[in-house]
A and B are shown apart, each in its own frame.
Chain A
């Protein structure tokens, strides 16, 4: 996404002109990009000053309610798995969001409490050549190794605790949510890896067969982060 395009998207978001998916994608970007977040913050503060609303404009609250209702409404059911295989070919789209939320007993989750008081966790990335000639290899363990190098012709496997969401974000395009375990693509280049404990209600929703929502996960506060380099 170009800088100008991002700025236009931010202005459209503050104006409430983006649809839900576009706004979610932009918010995912804002949670990782300080420059864009600063532009967003400046615009919001300016509009608050102009409308004499110190805490939030009426439009902000309208958008907040819409986001809340979306988050609370039943999501469409999706099959769940603790691991997913991702295809990483060269001709790729710019961003991949890999959501890994598996079924878990609600009472176990509830005992876990807030997302900052649960035990630290790690995320493993496994790679396997698409040709199948080489065995699966452990590419990286975040946060221990901090980075991994894989080929654009590799399949990737993400393994994480059941209540952890793993998100891979490229800088080249707005984030896109992975709806199913079907093949996704990544371009050669650098991808940032975020792993966040899903809020308890998200885990419960996933356990009930609904699609978890990644749009409001605080990626800026990810407990595990790393960098993934995709070789051509």
Chain B
């Protein structure tokens, strides 16, 4: 995570463009921290949205002299996630520290059980990808993985935008129908 003083000054002044730059730089780590509090991807998405709206609201309260934005964002994210959990009548997982969240750099790394699951997933993923035609594999990697638009994927594949959209739809139907992937996801979510 890189922090730039000029950007932080603009962020603290409430500038919208600076907020979006900070979002782009920190969106992924914020998702990681939010995932410490919420297992369900849907809840993670809702919580991440709440976190960023809170960050936007508190933008001008950020003190540039306090240093990089990362620790400040981690505290805002953790506090907002705790509030959301309390509103649902739930508590954070025992692995989440109660204090010193701004220094809890280990939050940035995968937990041991995550690493184990990733290792388990590898074989299932490889088997599934072997069944995909090349075009659908490109859609998977570039469309879903990298977040390219249908137009961009279409340009890479040399097909129309409509065909690219169709390939993505077909791919998702295959993912949804895969018993092996469903079992993997179920284990991951349990």
Contacts and interface: CB of A to CB of B under 8 A. Distances in A.
A50 B144 contact: yes
Nearest to B89: A221
B28 A15 contact: no
Nearest to B80: A114
B116 interface: no
Interface in B26-64: 27-28, 31-32, 35, 40-42, 44-46, 48-50, 52-53, 56-57
A50 B140 contact: yes
Nearest to B41: A44
Report the contact-size class of chain B (Cβ under 8 Å from the partner): 35 or more
A116 B86 contact: yes
Contacts of A30: 42
B35 A42 contact: no
Contacts of B168: 15-17
Nearest to B28: A55
Given A49-B121, A59-B147, A116-B87, A44 B42 contact: yes
Contact of B172 (A11, A45, A55, A60): A11
B5 interface: no
A17 B30 CA distance: 25
A54 B50 contact: no
Interface stretch (B6-14, B93-101, B180-188): B180-188
B4 interface: no
A58 B40 contact: no
A41 B42 contact: yes
A71 B40 contact: no
Contacts of B182: 42, 46
Contacts of A49: 121, 124-125, 181, 184-185, 188
Interface of A: 7, 11-12, 14-17, 27, 30-31, 37, 39-62, 64-65, 67-69, 71-72, 114-117, 199-201, 216, 218, 220-221, 223
Interface of B: 16, 20, 23-24, 27-28, 31-32, 35, 40-42, 44-46, 48-50, 52-53, 56-57, 83-84, 86-88, 110, 114, 118, 121, 124-125, 128-129, 140-141, 143-148, 165, 168-169, 171-173, 175-176, 178, 181-182, 184-186, 188-189
Which 7 pairs across A and B sit closest by C-beta, in order of nearness? A58-B147, A51-B145, A116-B87, A44-B41, A62-B147, A45-B185, A11-B172
